[in-house]
Amino acid sequence: MVSHQDHICWGKADPNHHPHELQVCRLSAAYPRSQRPAITGISFSIHCGHTLAVMGPNGAGKSTLLNVLAGMMPIADGQVLWDGRPLHDTRREVAWLPQRSMVDHSFPITVRRLVEMGRYPALGCWRSIGEHDVSIVDKALRTLQIEALQHRQIAELSGGQLQRAFLARALAQEAHILLLDEPFTGLDDPGVRALGILLGELAREGRLVVASYHDVKSASEYFDDTLLLNREQLAFGKSAEVLSSHNLNRAYGAVH
Amino acid sequence: MNDFLSYLAEPIALRTLWTCAVVGFVDGYVSALVVLRRSSLQLGAVSCALLPGIAIGILLFGLGQWSALVGAVVAGLLVGLSSLFVARTSRLHHDAALSIIHSAAFALGYVILVSLGLQQKVDDWLFGNIMSMSYVDLCLAYGIGAVALLAVTAFKRPLLIWLFDPNTATSMGLPTRTISYAVYALIILALVSSLQAVGALLTLGLLVAPAGIMRLLTNRAELMFWGAGAIGGGCSVAAFFVSYPLGLHLGATIILLLGLAFAVAWRFRLSVR
């Protein structure tokens, strides 16, 4: 097993190190009890160190794709590979961040305890939290600048702060791939900007950030690459190129 | 008062007192799962559905403790699972499906019990009769309590992750389906263990109120389990000493005291935000 220190992409991407690669090959997925696949024929590959926006109209399958990558929905057809091996063999490489509206804000838990949850895949059920884990949690809190909030209840946090707490949990998990479902929903303009820049920074440190995103105008500002889909893949590549008016018309209709 | 003291000297009084303490603690402890999982409403429906289970158990196997208990367990599981099934396969929301199924089941149970000529017994099943609890019932409560304590203590870490957000738990590779069935089974078992003590209707209070009270007083999920157990056990024991001299129904007194404790806790609750 790879030791923790070798494994983390904290701070710098090793220039001599071969970058990790996520490959999605002809991926299809369907909801249980549904005849029609929710997404079909998704194929792209991307290296860590990048931010990827998943875009498309409502019901296009953005959440479905994230759920499949997170291992929460089964793959109907195709493959998802991480460095050539099935992604779901290395579950802790993936951290999934829930939509803020989907979690119980009143749950009695402090920010620090929430971030500690990220250590579960490494610790399992019974191993107790050691010095190493404490230092990782500290570092995650520091990176997201929420150290001062660590003993607060999550009920006391603003939307942006809660988002940071979830990101800190993902960092504490030492995952390479961060999957964010609608992270920008409900944030005000400065909040959107701050989160966009933050995601870019986390990616520069050697992670792969994949998020569903809505705003066509600002996508290329925050995301290196964009996957445009509407149940099937419409375009993939550099954000500015993908979000051409031709492609947008195909995805959203003539409105845009 | 002398009356009460001489009653206390009888073995049945001691057993009743013990039963109050054990059932109260076990239900209180498990109530933390109910409250943290936000499933109080569902539980209300399921507890009512125990009545037809009891009735059918008696119909099939005759009047007896085990036939009633087995019937209750089976009914609890059936109603819970069937409502999930209905909600998944139709456009009806889980809540609505559950309400329809449980009220129909409740009516069915009542009809069967009355037609079996067990009208007197109906009161006991609905509101409980701790005096009628046997040594076997007490052992059952011990067993369920032991299982709950061991399971929650051993699996506290994954359990809290799941309670907070089942989706994240799935993404971390936790067997969430197994966890949710196990927790559901544990709640049903606790429900059944207190069935004779406080009855199908009142048991809901014992399985929600203790953790609800603790939630007002603490911000630590871990504390809720033991604290709720202590509150459940404490109120039940207190109810034993209050109900006899005043001539009140013991099961109802337990729930009344819990309601009172909730009101007091509300007064001294922690401020959130």
Euclidean distance between the first and final Cα of chain A, in Å? 50
Query: Tell me, what's the pLDDT at B272?
Result: 56
A111 domain residue, yes or no: yes
Q: Is residue A153 part of a domain?
A: yes
Q: CA of A90, closest CA in chain B: separation in Å? A: 10
Strand-pairing partners, residue A80, are: A24
Measured N-to-C along each axis, helices B94-115 and B119-127 cross at an angle, to the nearest 10 degrees, of 140
The chain A residue lying nearest B152, using CA atoms, is A125
For residue A246, is pLDDT > 90?
no
Determine the structural domain holding residue A40 and report its residue range: 21-252
Contacts of B163 in chain A (CB under 8 A): 107
Domains contained in chain A, number: 1
HEC sequence for A120-152? HHHHCCCCCCCHHHHHHHHHHHHHCCCHHHCCC
CATH number, domain at A228?
3.40.50.300
| Cβ burial A47-74 (10 Å sphere, 16+ → b, else e) | ebbbbbbbbbbeebbbbbbbbbbbbbbe
**Chain A residues lying within 8 Å of B273, measured CB to CB:** 155-156
Q: Residue A114 and residue B172: Cα distance in Å, rounded? A: 14
ipTM (interface pTM): 0.86
- At A7, is the pLDDT very low, low, confident or very high (cuts 50, 70, 90)? very low
Q: Which helix (H) or strand (E) holds A212?
A: strand A208-212
Q: Under the phi-then-psi rule, with left for phi > 0, alpha for psi from -120 to 50, and beta for the rest, what region is A247?
A: alpha
Query: Above 70 in pLDDT, residue A11?
Result: no
Instruction: Report CB contact under 8 Å: B157, A120.
Output: yes
A175: helix, strand or coil: coil
Residue for token pair 């990048």: A50
Q: Do B88 and A91 touch (CB under 8 A)?
A: no
In a domain, A4, yes or no: no
A100 part of a folded domain: yes
**B49 close to A (CB below 8 A):** no
Please determine, for residue B14, whether its predicted confidence score (pLDDT) is greater than 90: no
Q: pLDDT value at position A243?
A: 87
For residue A151, being part of any structural domain is answered with: yes
pLDDT at B226 over 90: yes
Q: Mean pLDDT across the stretch A102-111?
A: 90
The answer to whether residue A57 sits within a structural domain is: yes
Q: Is B247 on the interface with A (CB under 8 A)?
A: no
pLDDT at B128 over 90: no
What part of B 74-113 touches A (C-beta under 8 Å)?
A: 88-89
Nearest-neighbour CA in chain B from A196: distance (Å) = 22
**How far is the CA of B225 from the CAs of B55, B144, B184, in angstroms?**
33, 15, 16
By the CB < 8 Å criterion, does B272 face chain A?
yes
Choice between A255 and A12, residue whose per-residue pLDDT is larger: A255
CATH topology of domain B2-267: ABC transporter involved in vitamin B12 uptake, BtuC (1.10.3470)
Identify which of B35, B34, B21, B62 has the alpha carbon closest to the alpha carbon of residue B193: B21
Residue A126 lies in a domain: yes
- Minimal Cα–Cα distance from A68 to chain B, Å? 10
What are the tokens at B16?
Answer: 């009743």
Q: Is A184 on the interface with B (CB under 8 A)?
A: no
Residue A109: which of B155, B172, B221 has the nearest Cβ? Answer: B221
Is some CB atom of chain A closer than 8 A to the CB atom of B171?
A: yes
Nearest chain A Cα distance for residue B154, angstroms: 8
In a domain, A199, yes or no: yes
pLDDT at B64 over 80: no
Query: What global pTM score does this model have?
Result: 0.86
Taking CB atoms and an 8 Å cutoff, what residues of chain B touch A96? 167-168, 171
pLDDT in tens, A41-85: 999 999 989 999 999 998 889 999 999 999 888 899 999 999 889
